[in-house]
């Protein structure tokens, strides 16, 4: 398995959009095509926003996005690790941790010392185990975490 910037593996963009939209956006009223369009800037630059894709050759394994803001209630926090997804057959093998580590390294290269993440309370133990610090609980139904990028 390897992890690549989506910019270098654009064939995975539709898969990333499909996984993210189905996981978090199906009831939002946002069409899949609109969600997919948000990935287009990630195909152009290595700056924020960017996406990383874990893959085994042409087989999608997982992905993560890094965006400017993932929680409207906290506009001062930036950047955010978002839309972390690992396909079920590859879970519990360290893929998510590897994606977040590489995302943090890239964020650090871009000059940011901290990044943020939001998740449901049920995911709290996992993110704490990964080294994140819980900043706030139940911000519009989500916990807010931070982690140093270095």
Q: Which two tokens stand for residue 11?
A: 């064939």
Question: What Cα–Cα distance (Å) separates residue 96 from each residue in 17, 37, 57, 106, 138?
Answer: 17, 24, 18, 15, 23
At residue 45, the pLDDT reads 85
For the segment 98-124, the average pLDDT, to the nearest whole number, is 97
At residue 128, the pLDDT reads 98
For the segment 104-121, the average pLDDT, to the nearest whole number, is 97
Does the structure show a pLDDT above 90 at 72? yes
Q: Which two tokens stand for residue 14?
A: 């539709």
Condensed to tens digits (0 to 9), the pLDDT of residues 18-61 reads: 999 999 999 899 999 999 999 999 999 889 999 999 999 999 99
Domains and CATH numbers, the chain: 2-112 (3.40.630.30)
Does the structure show a pLDDT above 90 at 150? no
Residue 39's nearest CA partner among 61, 21, 59, 58 is 21
């Amino acid at each position: 398995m390897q992890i690549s910037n989506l910019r270098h593996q654009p064939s995975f963009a539709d898969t990333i959009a499909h996984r993210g939209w189905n996981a978090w956006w199906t009831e939002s009223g946002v069409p899949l095509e609109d969600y997919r369009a948000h990935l287009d800037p990630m195909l152009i630059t290595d700056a924020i926003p960017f996406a990383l894709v874990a893959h085994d050759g042409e087989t999608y394994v997982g992905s993560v996005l890094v965006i400017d803001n993932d929680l409207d209630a906290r506009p001062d926090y930036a950047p955010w690790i978002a839309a972390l997804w690992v396909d079920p057959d590859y879970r519990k093998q360290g893929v998510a941790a590897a994606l977040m580590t590489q995302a943090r390294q890239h964020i650090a290269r871009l000059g940011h010392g901290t990044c943020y993440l939001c998740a449901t309370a049920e995911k709290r133990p996992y993110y704490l185990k990964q080294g994140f610090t819980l900043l706030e609980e139940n911000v519009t139904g989500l916990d807010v975490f931070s982690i140093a990028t270095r």
